[in-house]
């Protein structure tokens, strides 16, 4: 099984982790994550006690990481009430797994960065690599992914693509005048190949609701 081999590789690379349990749906991994990283002269050298739930149907379901010893403050905005960590947007992590990211790479790319950002934020009140907030985070991800200059254009692009099949020979939904294949096709096609358009629709709905709420609040204030 692919996930099991992936986990064996993880335990080979991170010897402080071990499999603590297994259900029909997932593996439970426990252990110490050693973070030793310096960025802009700020060093973090610390051990974090975490548990990871790794679904067997990865990447349809994504792994979840829990801060089991309360090393991340409960008031931190990127920690959920069940003590799991908000590592990034669903879509970016999903695409990385679809592109072959191993669990070991996932730990380096997402969990180590998470703890480093946390310590940096607690020390300086700001994020070292920029922040994606919970609500606009997904839109910000799509903006970067599709290389748009601003969020409104990104939002409009999502609205156009979310319910349409991929048509490489037709004009690109970004209005560049080029056909899709020669414009955003190389970014758009993988989303279809990875079966990710359902997530695009979900993200669009979330962003839509948020923008509406934001507009309503602004209208109230203007009155």
Is 157 buried (19+), middle (13-18) or exposed (0-12) by CB count in 10 A? buried
To the nearest whole angstrom, how small is the minimum distance from the Cβ of residue 176 to Zn ion? 5
CB of 157 to Zn ion, least distance (A): 8
Cβ at position 196, least distance to Zn ion in Å: 18
3-state DSSP call for residue 222?
helix
Q: Which long-range contacts (CB under 8 A, 24 or more apart) does 179-184 make?
A: 184/146, 184/157
Q: Which residues bind Zn ion (CB under 5 A)?
A: 172, 174, 176, 183-184
Residue with tokens 């999502």: 158
114 sits in which H/E element? helix 113-124
Is the Cβ of residue 7 or residue 196 nearer to Zn ion in the bound state?
196
As measured in angstroms, the least distance from the Cβ of 184 to Zn ion is: 4
Which residues, other chains included, contact 2 with Cβ-Cβ below 8 Å and sequence gap of 6+?
Answer: none
6 touches 102 (CB < 8 A): yes
Nearer to Zn ion, 120 or 184 (CB): 184
Half-sphere CA count of 70, side-chain side, radius 13 A = 2
69-91 b/e (C-beta count within 10 Å ≥ 16 → b): eeebeeeeebbeeebebbbbbbb
| Sequence-ordered list of residues with C-beta below 8 angstroms from that of 64, at least 6 positions apart, any chain | 52, 53, 84
Minimum CB separation of residue 132 from Zn ion in Å reads 23
Between residues 81 and 169, which has the closer beta carbon with respect to Zn ion? 169
Q: Are 12 and 31 in contact (CB under 8 A)?
A: no
Least CB distance to Zn ion at residue 179 (A)? 9
Q: Given the complex with Zn ion, which of 115 and 148 has the nearer CB atom? A: 148
- Smallest gap from Cβ 174 to Zn ion, in A, equals 3
Q: Of 30 and 146, which CB lies nearer to Zn ion in the complex structure?
A: 146
Cβ closest to Zn ion, residue 143 vs residue 184:
184
User: Given the complex with Zn ion, which of 130 and 165 has the nearer CB atom?
Assistant: 165
Q: Residue 104 — φ and ψ, nearest 5°?
A: -65, -45
């Amino acid at each position: 099984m692919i996930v099991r081999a992936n986990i064996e590789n993880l335990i080979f690379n991170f010897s402080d982790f071990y499999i603590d349990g297994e259900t029909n749906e997932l593996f439970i991994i426990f252990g110490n994550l050693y973070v030793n990283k310096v960025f802009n002269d700020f060093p973090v050298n610390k051990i974090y006690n975490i548990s990871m739930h790794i679904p067997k149907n990865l990447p349809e379901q994504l792994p979840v990481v829990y801060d089991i010893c309360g090393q991340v403050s409960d008031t931190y905005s990127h920690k959920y009430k069940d003590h799991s960590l908000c590592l990034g947007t669903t879509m970016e992590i999903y695409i990385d797994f679809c592109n072959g990211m191993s669990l070991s790479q996932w730990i380096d790319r997402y969990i180590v960065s998470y703890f480093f950002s946390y310590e940096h934020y607690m020390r300086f009140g700001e994020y070292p690599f920029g922040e994606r907030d919970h609500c606009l985070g997904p839109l910000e991800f799509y903006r970067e992914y599709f290389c748009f200059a601003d969020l409104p254009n990104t939002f409009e692009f999502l609205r156009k693509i979310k319910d349409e099949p991929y048509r490489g020979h037709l004009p690109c939904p970004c209005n560049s005048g080029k056909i899709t294949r020669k414009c955003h096709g190389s970014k758009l096609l993988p989303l279809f190949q990875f079966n990710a358009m359902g997530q695009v629709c979900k993200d669009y709905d979330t962003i839509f609701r948020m923008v509406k709420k934001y507009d309503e609040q602004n209208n109230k204030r203007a009155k």
